Amino acid sequence: MRAAKLIFWGSVGALVHTHVTYPLALAALERVRGPRPSPPAPDADAERPRVSLIVAAFDEEQVIAAKVANSLALDYPRERLELIVASDGSTDRTVELAREAGADLILDLPRGGKMATQNAAVERASGEIVAFSDANSLWHPDALRAMAGAFADPEVGYVSGQVDFSDPDGDNEEGAYWRYEMAVRELESRAAGITAGNGGIYAVRRSAYRFLEPSRSHDLSFPFLLRKGGWRSVYAPAARAAEKLVPTVEGEFARKRRMMVGIPDIVWADRMWDPRGYGPAFAFQILSHRVLRYASPVLHAAALLANLALLGRGRIYRLALMVQAALLALAALADALPARPTRLARYYVLVTASIALGCWDRWQQGPPAAWEKAEGTR
């Protein structure tokens, strides 16, 4: 029974830490040591860095013209901005409409997947900063200026902005998750650097860019890979974009499951878990906010099985089993009783399950060869 107790309390402690005590620890550490000194602000009279803004697109005829117009209207010197639309084998009018809308460079590439498309665009880019956006992500006018300004700090290799999600009618609680996540990233950014970015709005110093394999993703891979290369990754809250949220939690589950296919490669094969090259603070952040979170399906299963073995060992274990059962019951009731607590419980259960199922898909099917748009986000 000693082993069961160790498994139970270790699993519960890890789950509580990754979701609750980790941000509290970051806030406490900041109070003790004070905020990180701010880098000098960029010289207002200095020439802005040249930026290549890359939009990877697959069958985006619904939104690509609006995205090009939005990009060209950014509050950034036009002569310092290169807009590249890279089509990943689109079969609709994406290329034609991007050209008509005025993109500087259009790449009509064979189907190869998002990562291959982004890599090809970077090879053609002329900017010292390469920024990336989804075709359905509309940036605020000052977003690019805010991100480019963060590179005035020579230690910064990667900058992520934030996306405001609109969801007037759906039942997806992804917006609540992102509000929590952005609060955590702000704390991380002021500590050792963010541990993940946002695929809708981010930028990378060209000299720090890594050409990744198809199953990887910039938002999960770059922060830790660049840290091992000596770069910091930061959050720029003033760099904002807007997107439509996937309207249903089922659609969000399918999207998350597709995203999680790359987790075994990113965490294990690329050695996210290996603290060498991080420094103590960033190693703590990666373990707390990434490794333990991606391990949450295993931690939940281990806690439940150990809990069942310990039922006769005290009231605390009966109470713990009741809490786990209550979470599942609330999630199951979300359709019949669509209140905020039941919807949040369902979102948490499905997102946790998506990690396990995404890893299973990777095991069964290999790395993803293509990418798909989430329904209802255009």
Give me the residue spans of the domains in the chain.
Answer: 51-247
Contact assessment for residue 238 and residue 146, using Cβ atoms and an 8 Å cutoff: yes
Query: Among 37-46, 181-190, 244-253, 299-308, which is the least confidently predicted range?
Result: 37-46
- Nearest alpha-carbon partner for 188 in 64, 27, 11: 27
52 pLDDT exceeds 70? yes
pLDDT value of residue 367 = 75
User: Is residue 160 scored above 80 in pLDDT?
Assistant: yes
Report which DSSP code applies to 261. G
Read off the pLDDT of residues 279-334 as tens digits, 9 standing for 90 and up: 999 999 999 999 999 999 999 999 999 999 999 899 999 999 999 999 999 999 99
Q: Please name the amino acid found at residue 355.
A: I
pLDDT of 43 higher than 80: no
Per-residue pLDDT, 162: 94
pLDDT(59) > 80: yes
Give the helix ranges, DSSP H, for the chain. 2-16, 22-33, 64-72, 94-101, 114-124, 143-150, 174-190, 218-228, 249-259, 263, 280-286, 292-294, 296-309, 315-332, 340-365
pLDDT of residue 173: 79
Please report the pLDDT score of residue 251 as a whole number: 86
More confident residue, 39 or 113: 113
CA distance 80 to 49: 7
What's the 3-state SS for 72-100? HCCCCCHHHEEEEEEEECCCCCHHHHHHH
Q: Which residues of 221-244 are buried (b: 16+ CB within 10 A; e: fewer)?
A: bbbbbbbbeebbbbbbeebbbbbb
- At the fourth CATH level, the homologous superfamily of domain 51-247 is Spore Coat Polysaccharide Biosynthesis Protein SpsA; Chain A (3.90.550.10)
> For residue 244, what pLDDT is reported?
86
Which stretch of 28-32, 45-49, 193-197, 366-370 has the lowest confidence by average pLDDT? 366-370
Angle between helices 296-309 and 315-332 (to 10 degrees): 130
How confident is the prediction for the chain on average, in pLDDT?
93
> Quick check: 168 pLDDT over 60?
no
Whether residue 347 is predicted with pLDDT greater than 90 in this model: the reply is: yes
Residue predicted with more confidence, 71 or 252: 71
pLDDT tier at 376, thresholds 50, 70, 90: low
Quick check: 45 pLDDT over 60?
Answer: no
Distance CA 193, CA 164 (A): 22
Query: Can you tell me whether residue 108 is helix, strand or coil?
Result: strand
Closest by Cα among 200, 195, 161 to 54 = 200
